A = this chain, B = another copy of it.
Amino acid sequence: MGPKASEVRTSAPRTPLTRERVLQAASDLADRDGLDALTMRALAESLGVEAMSIYYHLPNKNAILDGVVELTFTEIAAGVQRQGPAQGDAAGWAAAVRERILGARRVLLRHPWAPVVIDQRKSFSPAMVRHVDGIVGIMRGSGMSHDLIHHSLHAIGNRIYGYVQELSDDGQAPPPGQLEQMQSFAPHLAAMLADVAHVDPESTLGWCDDQTEFEFGLDLLLEGIERRRIAEAAARSAPATG
A216→B154 contact, CB < 8 A? yes
CB-contact partner of A217 in B157, B161, B191, under 8 A: B157
Closest chain B residue, CB of each to CB of A126: B185
A37 an interface residue at 8 Å Cβ cutoff? Answer: no
Residue of B nearest to A119 (CB): B165
Contact between chains at B208 and A169 (CB < 8 Å): no
CB distance from A165 to the nearest CB of B (A): 5
User: Which of B186, B191, B223 meets A129, CB within 8 Å?
Assistant: B186
| Cβ-based interface call for A122 (8 A) | yes
Give the residue name and chain of the B residue nearest to A139 (CB).
B188
Total interface residues on A, using CB and 8 Å?
A: 55
Asked if A136 is at the interface (CB within 8 A of a chain B CB), the reply is yes
B199 pairs with A147, CB closer than 8 A: yes
Q: Which residues of B contact A216 (CB under 8 A)?
A: 151, 154-155
Which residue from B136, B168, B187, B196 sits with its C-beta under 8 Å from A188?
A: B136
Q: Could you say which of B136, B156, B221 contacts A189, with CB atoms under 8 Å apart?
A: B136
User: For the complex, what is the distance from the CA of A139 to the CA of B70, rounded to whole Å?
Assistant: 41
- Asked if A160 is an interface residue, CB under 8 A from chain B, the answer is yes
A160 near B167 with CB under 8 A, answer yes
- A39 close to B (CB within 8 Å): no
B217 touches A220 (CB 8 A): no
On whether A133 and B187 interact (CB within 8 A), knowing A154-B216, A158-B167, the answer reads yes
0/1 string, A105-143, CB within 8 A of B gives 1:
000000000001001101010100110111011001000
A79 close to chain B: CB less than 8 A:
no
Q: 27 pairs across A/B with beta carbons < 8 Å?
A: A116-B120, A119-B119, A119-B165, A129-B182, A129-B186, A132-B189, A133-B185, A133-B189, A133-B190, A137-B187, A140-B192, A146-B191, A147-B196, A150-B192, A150-B208, A154-B166, A154-B213, A155-B216, A157-B165, A157-B167, A158-B164, A158-B167, A220-B221, A220-B225, A221-B221, A221-B224, A223-B227
